[in-house]
Amino acid sequence: MINNSVIKNPNSIFGMLLILSFLFIASCDNTEPSASFDEPFPKRKKNLWWKLGDQFSLLKYGDTVTLTLDFDNDTRTNYLIEKQTGDTVFAGTVSKYRGLYFLNHQTNDTSYWISAVDINKNISSTHNTITGLGTAEVQMEFLIKAIRKGKYQDLVTYTNQDSSVIYLHPDKETLYGFYASLLDTIPADTMVYLPGEKITPSDSTGIGIADVEKSSGEFDEYQDFEENFMIKNLYPNPAQDFCFLETYDAVEYMYDLTDASGTLYQRDRIVNGKVRIDLSEMEPGVYFIRVYPENKSSYETVKLIVA
């Protein structure tokens, strides 16, 4: 069940990783993971483009691997492609829960593997990191081994007499507890940005409707929804000393200015539909402006480049 489009190219770094993962599994148990979930992770489906941009690079085993990211809004499918080889690293839906991203790997019409990825795990690092990408087989195998030892039985809907076949139903709290612990044992890959590499879809004129991610629900667990947009424009973008943020109406909103790790740099009110944001003390880089009403019932986020 390993992705043949990846392992067909032995020069693919991700292909080598998956082959090594498979050999590791085989050395522990002479079968591939023999369990599957009957549905994806039970949270709304996310667009990784908002977190990773349309292209990024990772340092893996001393080599730089560049990945491109595309998103199909109709199916909510994320496509991660290794740029050097054209191999598909991941194609599936993604859910976010309590800071982890859960990747749903569809193995057939009714079955899924679920793996977890932690983005920006090493907050002490000067670079963003990704942990767990490309290790779905290993993660599933460790889950199976734990289940065969009697753990996480609330996930099990069926198992045969020798536990060689296991059917599972996802529970978000149980899966979070398992994968959060497992990711602590997996080395993180460092994200790097190369000269000329695109790290944001924004252009110098400001933003458009497609540049805004809309979410609602509990403030700690945002979910997509369809309502009128709050953010009308952000300009200039990229910016240097200042930028202007405009909303569609004069309702009083709040805004947060953060970096990718969530560090808060500014928080202020938007009055009468417009605010001037001072960037004179900001270091060059990619930031995020999040707009929300005072009751925190919903929010919108847009990327900002400080040049």
pLDDT (tens digit per residue) in 88-138:
999 999 999 998 999 999 999 999 999 999 987 554 445 678 999 999 999
- Banded pLDDT at 63 (limits 50, 70, 90): confident
Q: Is the pLDDT of residue 215 over 70?
A: no
Provide the whole-model pTM. 0.60
Domains recognised in the chain with CATH numbers: 4-192 (no CATH), 209-306 (2.60.40.1220)
For the segment 279-303, the average pLDDT, to the nearest whole number, is: 86
Does position 262 have pLDDT exceeding 70, yes or no?
Answer: yes
In 86-127, which ranges are E strands? Answer: 88-97, 100-106, 112-119
Encoded tokens for 1: 């069940």
Band the pLDDT of 269: cuts 50, 70, 90: very high
Higher pLDDT: 32 or 153? It is 153
Q: Is the pLDDT of residue 42 over 80?
A: yes
**Spatial separation of the C-alpha atoms in residues 51 and 238, rounded to whole Å:** 18
Averaged pLDDT for residues 252-277? 90
Q: Given this model, what pLDDT does residue 32 score?
A: 56
Asked if the model's pLDDT at residue 244 lies above 50, the reply is: yes
Burial of 42 (0-12, 13-18, 19+ CB in 10 A): middle
The pLDDT of residue 29 is: 45
Residue 172 has pLDDT above 50, yes or no: yes
In sequence order, the β-bridge partners of residue 36 are 167
Percent residues over pLDDT 90 in the chain: 48
Mean pLDDT across 63-89: 90
Is cis: bond before 236, omega within 30 of 0? yes
Q: How confident is the model at residue 213 (pLDDT cuts 50, 70, 90)?
A: low
